[in-house]
């Protein structure tokens, strides 16, 4: 039986990448949300549904092995007000974050597939998490597009996306670990 020696540098490199990925994945739990630096303000449908980005955070990490493909995550606190008499169903999984390159990222949030119900005359807040490599630019305008995610009865509410620029962004750079090959 032949064994292949494992380079210590390869193990170190893999450990560094794992640490960077874990740091980004766990940072929203520790990162505080803040109001956007700039926003288009709440969008309101003809029916009286209001959608707003109340707070958010954005982290972006560059990796020398992924040139121009930064790993980034945006966490958005969304407020929805239902001024109608009917119940509003919020399908968080249908929301998209439209990025500067035109990508429409789906929510990567815990329990996003479970609908929320907002009764007539009520309001509700919830968080959405979006993560991508190369699409999210934390210092540029992003659009929160509900698509068919706000439904009154069986009809999606026609509502414009909310545009915003994150209030602050955290950018980190991964250190280059020698490959040893």
What is the model's pLDDT at position 109? 84
Q: What is the domain partition of the chain in residue ranges? A: 32-173
CA distance 130 to 93: 11
Distance, in Å, from the CA atom of 8 to the CA atom of 93, rounded to the nearest integer, reads 42
* Residue 134 or 159, more confident: 159
- Indicate the burial class of 36 (C-beta count within 10 angstroms; 0-12, 13-18, 19 or more): buried
pLDDT of residue 39: 94
The per-residue pLDDT of the chain, averaged, comes to 81
Domain 32-173 fold: Immunoglobulin-like (2.60.40)
Averaged pLDDT, 77-104: 95
Q: Specify the pTM.
A: 0.73
Q: How confident is the model at residue 164 (pLDDT cuts 50, 70, 90)?
A: very high
Residues 99-131: tens digit of each pLDDT: 988 999 999 888 888 999 999 999 999 999 999
């Amino acid at each position: 039986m032949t064994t292949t020696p494992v380079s210590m540098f390869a193990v170190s490199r893999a450990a560094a990448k794992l640490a960077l990925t874990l740091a980004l994945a766990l940072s929203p739990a520790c990162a505080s949300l803040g109001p956007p630096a700039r926003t288009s303000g709440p969008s309101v449908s003809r029916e009286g549904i209001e959608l707003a980005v109340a707070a958010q955070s954005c982290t972006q990490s560059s990796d020398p092995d992924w040139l121009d493909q930064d790993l980034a995550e945006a966490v958005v606190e969304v407020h929805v007000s239902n001024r109608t008499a009917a119940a509003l169903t919020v399908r968080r999984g249908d929301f998209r974050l439209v990025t500067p390159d035109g990508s429409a990222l789906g929510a990567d949030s815990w329990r996003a597939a479970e609908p929320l119900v907002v009764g007539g005359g009520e309001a509700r807040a919830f968080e959405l998490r979006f993560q991508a490599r190369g699409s999210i630019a934390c210092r540029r305008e992003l659009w929160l597009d509900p698509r068919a995610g706000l439904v009154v009865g069986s009809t999606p509410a026609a509502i414009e996306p909310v545009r915003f620029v994150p209030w602050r962004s955290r950018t980190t750079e991964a250190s280059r670990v020698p490959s040893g090959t």
